[in-house]
């Protein structure tokens, strides 16, 4: 799958618009720098101290001052107009629109709600290509930030101050991003993964996510399910069709279908799942999941169960 | 000037020999602005060394992706301390040192208006700084970034790890102390400049360094109270549950962002204006030309000072405020580029047609112009709001503000040291070490930071202890770290030079560079009372006029009316 990680590789219409503006500004800035540097270098070479030359003491030339006041002023006004145009293009007011996806940031993971379908998921976002989508951002605790470089814009995720962002993804693929606003110990491991899919694939994914969890398929997995209840995992985590009391932690209904664990910290493999359950702090320092103190066979059973939740 | 030869026999040639400055007590109890200035210099240099060492540790941690040498906890403390140290405890007081030491000398005064308050400012700064560092020993220091956004810093969530611990309290109280000191310094400088100029030094004859320091003092006076208010609110939130910033109870974390940046943006000008002043003194002297566009320079400074209070929300362009607010702040931010541009072009025009001698001080000024232009241009890019959405909080920003603060301010400070160290100590800094230092710093700085613009573009966010192995990031960071070590070496050589030259440096004489402002009219180091006599001030370059007056300096320099003003 095509991976998008960089501002310079836009994957949305909005990112493309912003990037064009960026190149315009970059061009102007480069030109200005070349002029300034050229003047400096010329002065440095030409006016080096030489014996016996007494420089003139010219102290002012008003037309020169006027020149270098007006030219920058014109440039600044031009850039301002550019800014306003792109702003309106990229992020028109969202009045009255219902969001297609609500992202709730937590220390240090992402809770996802797809309001039309009622699907709840975590950390790995799926979105359809070619639709004009409205995303809404809320925070459950501190200030976070939502930044997927190839989406162009980023937005702060502020408690008590929901924000929105428009997106029209143009290219399917995997988009990587991260929390951009320092939010505490786990900030570096608060990754974002967005799978941009064709509308059909996206609908299929959504339909799959809206199903309750599949029942355990082996004896070991059934033991795992039992442990999940016994060890109080349910206090924090929900698994739809099993127990949905916990709201403080990622929804695990389809955790087996995710490609990574703990907001992009680990690839989702049985070994890593075991590693995570053994000691989450060792994987992601500060994480708000306690070390449960599980026996190796319990870990094995739990991961068999969780990995089966496709 | 012949004065120097006459003086040389009877006056000490080095600060180490000044009788009044011997003994610890003379320093601890001093109200002499020169001693206080030197204490500011020394303290801020030590903090700078600490901040730079922390930076080297950071760059080592970031040298490769998925690096687990430091834990996130340690790294987060280090970058918070690095930012806090550099801004509040190193660069700002270093500039204050120049202001406190040179303002009275440049206007022909004997001291500042309120010498005791001057001492108090210094001691508050020192104590505040120590208090902030003391938080390291509480075992629960800062991990929040120098901007300390609540609710991360204000609310005690259910688990300890959510929450930034007692370190924040030390940070708050420490900053309140240094902040109080800064406000006092601001008042002191303003009153001194208003009150103690030699009588014929009209405002239009004020050296540009003094102009810029005065505007700077106004900024300090108006900006720091906003920070102090915010700090008090944060303290109340933490200890009395005042809920200013707690959204769950009707507070608003954006209130902090507004208050903090209402201080924070003027602060970044506070961190550059005296630097502009230094450059505006050094370039003319080493080009043997009068500053070009003096009055435009002064007016541009006033304009920057004024505008700097109307741009703070450009630090909040991604907070989702209404567009009409963005328009105002985007425009004011871009507008500030105009007076800044005036300065850059006037400096170049000063060099133009001059007879430039590239001593280390001048080299730093030339590099400063180019580097600061880069930082300024990326700043204008950020004023184009959607580009800010793209790049804010990424390593592009880290590159941007190091181009202004390090490639900008720190380079001007270096120029200031090479220019004025002889005046302060009576000894020249070694030019040989100076040139080595200069090249190491130019190469190291640009190598380390230019490439970080690309780290931001490639998707690296700031304030992370490690980063995933995305395309290009490994290479970029490796290069950046290696060059950072070169920069670090340059800084070490600077410190070596400071120490070695104090003992081994060539005697400076009164006026080694042929400077034209009043501080060069007295001995190096100046006597405790600053001036035996003051030449008349007929223009912005009194010593130039004196030189031209074709007479023996002794006869040409009757004490100007009122001589020592105090
Ligand atoms: C000595 C060379 C320096 C190096 C190698 C260096 C390196 C860095 C790096 C890598 C960061 C980013 C940390 C992160 O986001 O994780 C940083 C942040 C910062 N630096 Fe420097 N720096 C240096 C000097 C300075 C100077 C002279 C200043 C001037 C005031 C300064 C001010 C700051 C500030 C304010 C931050 C932001 C801290 C925060 O995010 O809270 N640095 N520095
Ligand atoms: Cu976050």
Which residues in chain B have their CB less than 8 angstroms from residue A149's CB? 390, 394, 457-459
- Torsion sign over Cα B316, B317, B318, B323: positive
What pLDDT score was predicted for residue B564?
36
Q: Chain A: give the shortest CA distance to residue B347, in Å.
A: 9
- Long-range contact set of residues A205-211: C-beta below 8 Å, sequence gap at least 24: A205/A126, A206/A114, A206/A117, A206/A119, A206/A126, A208/A254, A208/A257, A209/A114, A209/A117, A209/A119, A209/A121, A209/A253, A209/A254, A210/A117, A210/A118, A210/A119, A211/A241
DSSP state for residue B289 in the 8-state scheme: S
Please state, for a pLDDT cut of 70, what percent of chain B lies above it. Answer: 93
Q: Is the CB of B55 under 6 A from ligand 1?
A: yes
What pLDDT score was predicted for residue A101?
97
Q: Strand (E) positions, B186-345? A: none
How far is Cα B250 from Cα A209, in angstroms, rounded to an integer? 35
Q: Provide the 3-class DSSP secondary structure of residue B321.
A: coil
How far is Cα B539 from Cα B544, in angstroms, rounded to an integer? 9
What pLDDT score was predicted for residue A53?
79
List the beta bridge partners of residue A145: A156
Annotate B62-129 with DSSP letters as a single string: TTSTT--SS-HHHHHHHHHHHHHIIIIIIIHHHHHHHHHHHHHHHTT-SS-S-HHHHHHHHHHHHHHH
Contact A145, A181 (CB under 8 A): yes
Q: Is the pTM of this model over 0.80?
A: yes
Q: Is B127 exposed, middle or buried (0-12, 13-18, 19+ CB in 10 A)?
A: middle
Average confidence (pLDDT) over B111-118: 97
CB atoms A59 and B294 under 8 Å: yes
Q: Is B68 exposed, middle or buried (0-12, 13-18, 19+ CB in 10 A)?
A: exposed
What pLDDT score was predicted for residue B163?
57
Average confidence (pLDDT) over B530-548: 92
Give the distance (Å) from ligand 1 centre to CA of residue B378.
Answer: 17
> Which of B94, B177, B97, B91 lies closest to B130, judged by CA?
B177
pLDDT tens column, B309-365: 999 999 999 998 888 899 999 999 989 999 999 999 999 999 999 999 999 999 999
- The torsion angles phi and psi of B553, rounded to 5 degrees, stand at -55, -35
Query: For residues B277-294, b (16+ Cβ closer than 10 Å) or e, as one string?
Result: bbbbbbbbbbbbbbbbbb
Residue nearest to atom 28 of ligand 1 (CA): B86
Instruction: Categorize the per-residue pLDDT at B164 as very low, low, confident or very high, splitting at 50, 70 and 90.
Output: low
Residue nearest to atom 35 of ligand 1 (CA): B83
Give the distance (Å) from ligand 2 centre to CA of residue A267.
Answer: 20
Q: Provide the 3-class DSSP secondary structure of residue B343.
A: helix
C-alpha distances in angstroms, B57 versus A228, B53, B145, B465?
A: 42, 6, 16, 11
Q: Chain A: give the shortest CA distance to residue B141, in Å.
A: 12
Mutate to test the interface with A, among B255, B293, B390 (most CBs of A within 10 A): B390
Contact B55, B81 (CB under 8 A): no
Report the mean per-residue pLDDT for chain B. Answer: 91
Placement of tokens 């290069």 in the chain: B479
Contact B542, B511 (CB under 8 A): no
pLDDT tens column, A96-145: 789 999 999 999 999 999 998 889 999 999 999 999 999 999 999 899 99
Residue nearest to atom 2 of ligand 1 (CA): B52
How far is Cα B282 from Cα B291, in angstroms, rounded to an integer? 10
Q: Is A296 exposed, middle or buried (0-12, 13-18, 19+ CB in 10 A)?
A: exposed
Nearest CA in chain A to B159: A288
CB atoms A36 and B295 under 8 Å: no
Which residues in chain A have their CB less than 8 angstroms from residue B461's CB? 147, 178-180
pLDDT tens column, B127-139: 999 999 988 777 6
Residues with Cβ < 8 Å from A77, sequence gap 6 or more? Answer: none
Which of the ligands is closest to the CA of residue B490?
1
Annotate B459-510 with DSSP letters as a single string: TPBSS-S-----TTHHHHHHHHHHHHHHHHHHHHHHHHHHHHHHHHSPB--S
User: H/E/C letters for each residue in chain A?
Assistant: CCEECCCCCCCEHHHHHHHHHHHHHHHHHHHHHHHHHHHHHHHHHHCECCCCCCCCCCCCCHHHHHHHHHHHHHHHHHHHHHHHHHHHHHCCCCCCCCCCEEEEEECCEEEEEECCCCEEEECEEEEECCCEEEEEEEECCCCEEEECHHHCCEEEEECCECEEEEEEECCCEEEEEEECCCCCHHHHHCEEEEEEECHHHHHHHHHHHHCCCCCCCCHHHHHHHHHHHHCCHHHHCCECCCECCCCCCCCCCCHHHCCEECCCCEECCHHHHHHHHHCHHHHCCCCCCCCCCCCHHHHHHHHHHHHCCC
Record: fold of A219-307 = Immunoglobulin-like (2.60.40)
Placement of tokens 């698994």 in the chain: A239
What pLDDT score was predicted for residue B11?
58
Contact B297, B342 (CB under 8 A): yes
Residue nearest to atom 7 of ligand 1 (CA): B55
Residues at Cβ < 5 Å from ligand 2 ion: A 144, 179, 183, 190
Give the distance (Å) from ligand 2 centre to CA of residue A56.
Answer: 59
* End-to-end Cα spacing for chain A: 20
Placement of tokens 């208003």 in the chain: B194
> Which of B186, B208, B184 lies closest to B278, judged by CA?
B208
Contact B85, B54 (CB under 8 A): yes
How far is Cα B94 from Cα B86, in angstroms, rounded to an integer? 10
CB atoms A76 and B334 under 8 Å: yes
How far is Cα B366 from Cα B344, in angstroms, rounded to an integer? 11
Residue nearest to atom 1 of ligand 1 (CA): B52
Ligand 1: which atom is nearest the Cα of residue B90? 30
> Which of B452, B441, B476 lies closest to B394, judged by CA?
B452
What pLDDT score was predicted for residue B68?
93
DSSP-H helix ranges across B137-207: 167-195
Domain spans, chain A: 1-210, 219-307
C-alpha distances in angstroms, B511 versus A76, A248, B107, B226?
A: 43, 70, 17, 42
Give the distance (Å) from ligand 1 centre to CA of residue A94.
Answer: 37
Instruction: Categorize the per-residue pLDDT at B240 as very low, low, confident or very high, splitting at 50, 70 and 90.
Output: confident
Instruction: Categorize the per-residue pLDDT at B9 as very low, low, confident or very high, splitting at 50, 70 and 90.
Output: very low
Contact B176, B228 (CB under 8 A): yes
What pLDDT score was predicted for residue B259?
95
Which residues in chain B have their CB less than 8 angstroms from residue A181's CB? 149, 393
Q: Is B23 exposed, middle or buried (0-12, 13-18, 19+ CB in 10 A)?
A: exposed
Identify which of B138-142, B183-187, B198-202, B238-242 has the greatest average pLDDT.
Answer: B183-187
Instruction: Categorize the per-residue pLDDT at B210 as very low, low, confident or very high, splitting at 50, 70 and 90.
Output: very high
* End-to-end Cα spacing for chain B: 26
pLDDT at B170 > cutoff 60: yes
Three-point CA angle A203, A207, A208, nearest 5°: 120
How far is Cα A248 from Cα A235, in angstroms, rounded to an integer? 8
Placement of tokens 């501002």 in the chain: A7
Q: Which domains does chain B possess?
A: 34-549 (1.20.210.10)
Report the range of poorest mean pLDDT among B115-124, B252-261, B396-405, B545-554: B545-554
Both structure tokens of B201: 């030094």
Q: Chain B: give the shortest CA distance to residue A123, in Å.
A: 16
Residues with Cβ < 8 Å from B134, sequence gap 6 or more? Answer: B170
Q: Is B542 exposed, middle or buried (0-12, 13-18, 19+ CB in 10 A)?
A: buried
DSSP state for residue B357 in the 8-state scheme: -
C-alpha distances in angstroms, A201 versus A197, A206, A310?
A: 6, 9, 16
Q: Chain A: give the shortest CA distance to residue B152, in Å.
A: 5
Q: Which helix (H) or strand (E) holds B55?
A: helix B33-61
Task: Write out residues in chain A with pLDDT < 70, as ranges.
Answer: none
pLDDT at B554 > cutoff 90: no
Both structure tokens of B307: 């505008």
Q: Do domains A1-210 and A219-307 have the same CATH topology?
A: yes
Which residues in chain A have their CB less than 8 angstroms from residue B355's CB? 47-50, 53-55
How far is Cα B183 from Cα B478, in angstroms, rounded to an integer? 42
Which residues in chain B have their CB less than 8 angstroms from residue A266's CB? none
Residues with Cβ < 8 Å from A292, sequence gap 6 or more? Answer: A231, A232, A233, A277
Record: fold of A1-210 = Immunoglobulin-like (2.60.40)
> Which of B378, B394, B389 lies closest to B460, judged by CA?
B394
């Amino acid at each position: 799958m095509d991976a998008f990680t960089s501002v310079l590789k836009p994957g949305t219409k909005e990112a493309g618009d912003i990037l064009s503006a960026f190149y315009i500004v970059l061009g102007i800035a480069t030109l200005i720098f070349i002029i300034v540097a050229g003047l400096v270098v010329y002065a440095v070479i030409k006016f080096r101290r030489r014996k016996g030359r007494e420089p003139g003491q010219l102290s002012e030339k008003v037309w020169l001052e006027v020149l270098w006041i007006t030219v920058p002023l014109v440039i600044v006004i031009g850039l301002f107009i550019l800014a306003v145009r792109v702003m309106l293009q990229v992020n028109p007011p969202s009045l009255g629109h219902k969001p297609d996806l609500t992202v709730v940031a937590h220390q240090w993971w992402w809770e996802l709600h797809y309001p039309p379908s009622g699907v709840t998921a975590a950390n790995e976002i799926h979105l359809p290509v070619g639709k004009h989508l409205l995303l809404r951002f809320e925070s459950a605790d501190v200030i976070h930030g939502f930044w997927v470089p190839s989406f162009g814009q980023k937005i702060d995720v502020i408690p008590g101050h929901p924000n929105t962002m428009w997106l029209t993804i143009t290219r399917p693929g995997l988009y990587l991003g991260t929390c951009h606003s320092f939010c505490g110990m786990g900030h570096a491991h608060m990754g974002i993964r967005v799978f941009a899919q064709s509308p059909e694939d996206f609908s299929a994914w959504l339909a799959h996510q809206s199903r309750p969890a599949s029942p355990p398929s082996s004896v070991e997995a059934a033991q795992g399910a039992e442990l999940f209840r016994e060890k109080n995992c349910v206090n924090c985590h929900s698994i739809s069709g099993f127990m949905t009391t916990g709201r403080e932690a990622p929804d695990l209904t389809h955790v087996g279908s995710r490609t990574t664990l703990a907001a992009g910290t680990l690839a989702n493999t049985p070994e890593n799942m075991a590693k995570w359950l053994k000691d989450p702090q060792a994987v992601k320092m500060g994480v708000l999941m306690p070390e449960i103190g599980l026996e190796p066979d319990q870990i094995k059973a739990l991961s068999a169960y969780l990995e089966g939740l496709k | 000037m012949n004065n120097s030869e006459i003086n040389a026999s009877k006056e000490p040639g080095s600060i180490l020999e000044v009788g009044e400055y011997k003994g610890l007590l003379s320093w601890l109890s001093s109200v002499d602005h020169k001693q206080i200035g030197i204490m500011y210099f020394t303290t801020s240099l030590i903090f700078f060394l600490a901040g730079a060492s922390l930076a080297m540790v950071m760059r080592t941690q970031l040298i490769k992706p998925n690096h687990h040498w430091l834990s996130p906890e340690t790294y987060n403390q280090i970058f918070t301390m690095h930012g806090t140290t550099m801004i509040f405890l190193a660069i700002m007081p270093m500039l204050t040192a120049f202001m406190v030491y040179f303002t009275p000398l440049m206007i022909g005064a004997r001291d500042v208006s309120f010498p005791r308050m001057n001492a108090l400012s210094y001691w508050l700064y020192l104590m505040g700084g120590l208090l902030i560092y003391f938080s390291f020993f509480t075992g629960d220091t800062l991990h929040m970034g120098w901007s300390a956004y609540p609710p991360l810093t204000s609310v005690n969530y259910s688990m300890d790890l959510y929450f930034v611990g007692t370190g924040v309290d030390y940070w708050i109280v420490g900053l309140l102390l240094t902040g109080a000191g800064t406000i006092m310094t601001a008042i002191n400088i303003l009153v001194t400049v208003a009150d103690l100029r030699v009588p014929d030094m009209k405002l239009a004859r004020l050296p540009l360094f003094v102009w810029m320091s005065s505007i700077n003092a106004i900024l300090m006076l108006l900006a720091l109270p906003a920070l102090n208010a915010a700090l008090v609110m944060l303290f109340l939130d933490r200890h009395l549950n005042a809920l200013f910033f707690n959204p769950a109870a009707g507070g608003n974390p954006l209130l902090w962002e507004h208050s903090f940046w209402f201080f924070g943006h003027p602060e970044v000008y506070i961190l550059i204006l005296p630097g502009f002043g230094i450059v505006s003194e050094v370039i003319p002297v080493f080009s043997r030309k009068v500053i070009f566009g003096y009055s435009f320079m002064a007016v541009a400074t006033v304009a920057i000072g004024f505008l700097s209070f109307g741009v703070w929300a450009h630090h909040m362009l991604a907070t989702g405020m209404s567009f009409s607010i963005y328009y105002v702040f985007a425009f004011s931010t871009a507008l500030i580029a105009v007076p800044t541009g005036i300065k850059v072009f006037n400096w170049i025009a000063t060099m133009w047609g001059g007879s430039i001698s590239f001593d280390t001080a001048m080299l730093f000024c030339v590099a400063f112009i180019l580097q600061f232009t880069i930082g300024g241009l990326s700043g204008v890019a950020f004023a184009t709001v959607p580009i800010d959405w793209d790049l804010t909080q990424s390593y592009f920003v880290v590159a941007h503000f190091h181009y202004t603060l390090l490639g900008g301010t720190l380079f001007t400070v270096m120029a200031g040291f090479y220019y004025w160290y002889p005046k302060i100590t009576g000894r020249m800094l070694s030019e040989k070490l100076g040139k080595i230092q200069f090249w190491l710093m130019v190469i190291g700085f640009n190598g380390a930071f230019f490439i970080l613009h690309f780290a931001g573009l490639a998707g690296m966010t700031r304030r992370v202890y490690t980063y995933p192995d995305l395309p290009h990031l490994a290479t970029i960071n490796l290069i950046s770290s290696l060059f950072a070590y070169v920069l670090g070496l340059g800084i070490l050589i600077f410190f070596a030079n400071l120490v070695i030259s104090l003992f081994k440096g060539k005697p400076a004489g009164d006026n080694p560079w042929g400077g034209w402002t009043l501080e060069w009219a007295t001995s190096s180091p100046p006597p405790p009372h600053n001036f035996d006599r003051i030449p008349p001030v007929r223009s912005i370059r009194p010593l130039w006029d004196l030189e031209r007056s074709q007479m023996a300096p002794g006869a040409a320099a009757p004490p100007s009316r009122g001589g020592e003003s105090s």
